Structure 1
């Protein structure tokens, strides 16, 4: 079963932000070796990379023979990451998601986290 794991999305984006350099790529194997990704298996990482690429959160490309590299986080990826970056915000977001069984789209998760950030800043 292929499931898009919300923690994997956040951890992957945080790992890319910290380790990906301008004009550089990271392969799935290199991503799997990042400290933020050690709790995920290879299939989870490949699936998450593919889905984040489809969503326009990262740019990735595949090679013949099955290689997969990530070249950058897009503006939309950075927006999402900025909304879920803080551990307290992420915990509160996941707590709210648990009320619906944890199932929500990336856009809902981002909006929910954004609303939590706004509330903490006193912005309505």
Structure 2
């Protein structure tokens, strides 16, 4: 399956929105939000697994009816903060497309670069 950056973003936003300490959330029960309606269950499971392997979510336990998610890691929180705004996310995706890489590592680096440039522009550096 091909990585879908929009699915990753939507999953991370949903996890952030639905978790609180020390609660865990379950997919699909606790993640019924419109932003995930465009993705198949298989696509969501695949991208949840990618998020876990990329250290964006704390843990993931699959079971017969879905899975349990243990929240975002500090890296997951940083990434979602960098791509929260649609303008920043769209710029990140545009640069990703231009350079021909949409791996999670590339997206994280690009998002950090976009944020860095926005900060510099605020200080007119």
Distance 1:109 1:31, change over 3 A: farther
Check conservation: 1:60, 1:68, Cα contact below 8 A: no
Q: Quote the Cα distance in structure 2 between the aligned partners of 1:63 and 1:82.
A: 27
Decide which of 106, 120, 123 is 1:122's aligned counterpart.
Answer: 120
CA distance in 1 between counterparts of 2:60 and 2:102 reads 27
**Match of 1:96?**
95
Give the Cα–Cα distance (whole angstroms) in 2 for the partners of residues 61 and 104 of structure 1: 23
Specify every segment of 5 or more residues in structure 2 that has no aligned partner in the other structure, as ranges: none
CA RMSD of aligned residues (A): 1.9
Q: 1:57, 1:75 within 8 Å by CA — same for their partners in 2? A: yes
Give, in whole Å, the separation in 2 of the partners of 1:30 and 1:65: 13
Residue 59 (structure 2) aligns with: 60
Is 1:14 the equivalent of 2:19? no
Equivalence for 1:47:
46
SS in 2 for 1:3: coil
| Deviation of 1:64 (Å) | 4.7
Answering whether residue 68 of structure 2 is matched by residue 69 of structure 1, we say yes
Q: How many residues align?
A: 122
Q: 1:26 Cα shift? A: 1.6
Please say if residues 96 and 106 of structure 2, whose CA atoms lie closer than 8 Å, have aligned partners that are also in contact: no
Task: Identify unmatched segments of 5+ residues in structure 1.
Answer: none
User: Structure 1 length normalisation: TM-score?
Assistant: 0.86
Residues 4-63 of structure 1, C-alpha deviations (whole Å, 9 max, x = no match): 210011111111111112122222213552222111110111001111111111023325
Counterpart of 2:111 in structure 1 is 113
